[in-house]
Amino acid sequence: MSKLASNLQIDSARLWSTIHDTAKFGATPKGGVRRLTLGPEDKLVRDWFRAACEAAGCEVQIDALGNMFALRRGRDMSKPPVGLGSHLDTQPTGGKFDGVLGTLAALEVLRTLNDASIETELPLCVANWTNEEGSRFAPAMMGSAAYVGDFTVEDILSRKDAAGISVAEALDSIGYRGDSAVGTQKFTSFIELHIEQGPILEAESKAIGVVDSGQGVLWYDGKITGFESHAGSTPMQLRRDALATLSEIVLAVERIAIELGPNAVGTVGEAVIAAPSRNVIPGEIAFTIDTRSADAAIMDALDQRIRAAAAEIATRRKVEVALDLLWRKPPTRFDPKLVDAVEIAAKELGYSNRRITSGAGHDACNLNTKMPVAMIFVPCKDGVSHNELEDATQPDCSAGANVLLHTVLALAGVAK
């Protein structure tokens, strides 16, 4: 590699201002971002992203699920590009960095190469995946899941949000149901930069997490059917209370995850009483369970024990509990050669680093079943994410972007 390429650094100030400038699309009063997938704010950031990629000389393709691909040509166009990127949608009370860092750092890599007039041997392709977060439409990481064939495109297009709007309708309403078929944009390999979203790097004062694995995920939709009746006149022993049932289920999920831990987590994140009223005993509740582990055997145990606990609680309380498993993502082991490439880039740049398992799910975990993939983590403040207070430092984000740049250069090669 030429001296120019091996000494290259991204423009830290430009990356930082890009992250903060685009945070205005969906900015919340508490300093976070609310940019639900395929909503009006997502359209604004997508329009901005497309224009920025085109200004950087890329051709931008959009597939039938709104996944965006910005291609920077390489010397050898006979091979698929090296992919880099993440997502631009956020949680309802999300931060400025989750997904955004990886997508905008990927753009910054292209801008840096342009400024230095460096042509890579292989082309590069920056991706913005649709609905990574999974909060408006389930499952999460929907665009990349359909890309690898875990779900059909028709199935994903028919998924509905809480207001009954389908993915197809939402794509059409913002003009992002693209022309290219899902899965046609191939990659030689894919690298995703992300904030850690957990406390380990910060606690150990490491600049870079070399991500070698990711937790598996189980997502359930649950429904409790009890019986509505008068809150004043129904004796306690005659009640079939859906909310009291849910309370036991929430504590059972917590207890089971703790007992199977430390490599297990479990969360009830949504619960909706069908017809809430303070003087009606709740008769029907919809709820969700999210449970995860990096160990496949522990995932099986979580599934079996949560189902058994829900069944026991239902029988004892004389209510019905239905648990529908809507998503099962096995644990991920990233490609050893790509993981090494990330580690080598971090070491050569002089950044402290350690191997790490991702607690969160990522598009990279989906892509890993079809191509060599690895991830780069940088610390975030107090390990907090999925929160408007999510924060990361400019030096840490820049270090991650530099590791991304040099991993990509190692994988794509520099044209002579």
> Which stretch in 132-140, 176-184, 243-251, 368-376 sits in contact with ligand GLV by CB under 6 A?
132-140
Binding segment toward ligand GLV, per CB under 6 A, in 15-23, 133-141, 164-172, 403-411: 133-141
Q: Which residue has the tokens 């829900």?
A: 310
Among 65, 140, 224, 367, binds ligand GLV (CB under 6 A): 140
Which CB sits closer to ligand GLV, 114 or 288?
288
As a whole number of angstroms, the distance between CA 317 and CA 245 comes to 7
Q: H-helix or E-strand containing 377? A: strand 373-378
372: partner contacted, choices Mn ion, ligand GLV, none (Cβ within 5-8 A by kind): none
Residues 361-400 that bind ligand GLV (CB under 6 A): 361
Residue with tokens 């400025």: 96
For ligand GLV, the binding residue among 63, 133, 196, 363 (CB under 6 A) is: 133
CA distance 78 to 63: 21
- Whether 32 and 389 have beta carbons less than 8 Å apart is answered as yes
The answer to whether 99 contacts Mn ion (rule: CB under 5 A) is: yes
Task: Check residue 198 for interaction with ligand GLV (CB under 6 A).
Answer: no
Q: How many residues bind ligand GLV (CB under 6 A)?
A: 5
User: Which residues neighbour 42 within 8 Å (Cβ) at sequence distance 6 or greater?
Assistant: 25, 26, 35, 36, 88, 89, 174
- Residue whose CB is less far from Mn ion, 87 or 305: 87
CB of 131 to ligand GLV, least distance (A): 10
C-beta of residue 235 within 8 angstroms of C-beta of residue 229: no
Interaction between residue 32 and ligand GLV (CB under 6 A): no
For ligand GLV, give the closer residue by CB, 141 or 403.
141
Q: Which 3 state secondary structure label does DSSP give 127? A: strand
SS3 state of residue 38: coil
Closest to ligand GLV by CB, 269 vs 395, is 269
Q: Which stretch binds Mn ion (CB under 5 A): 75-83, 92-100, 160-168, 306-314?
A: 92-100
Is residue 59 within 8 Å of 179, Cβ to Cβ? no
Q: How far is the CB of 140 from ligand GLV (least distance, A)?
A: 5
Burial class (CB within 10 angstroms; exposed 0-12, middle 13-18, buried 19+) of 293: buried
**Cβ proximity of 189 and 372 under 8 Å:** yes
Question: Which residues in 322-361 contact ligand GLV (CB under 6 A)?
Answer: 360-361
The nearer residue to ligand GLV, 74 or 216, going by C-beta atoms, is 216
CA dihedral sign, ordered 389, 198, 44, 53: positive
In the complex, which residues of this chain contact ligand GLV (CB under 6 A)? 133-134, 140, 360-361
In the complex, which residues of this chain contact Mn ion (CB under 5 A)? 98-99
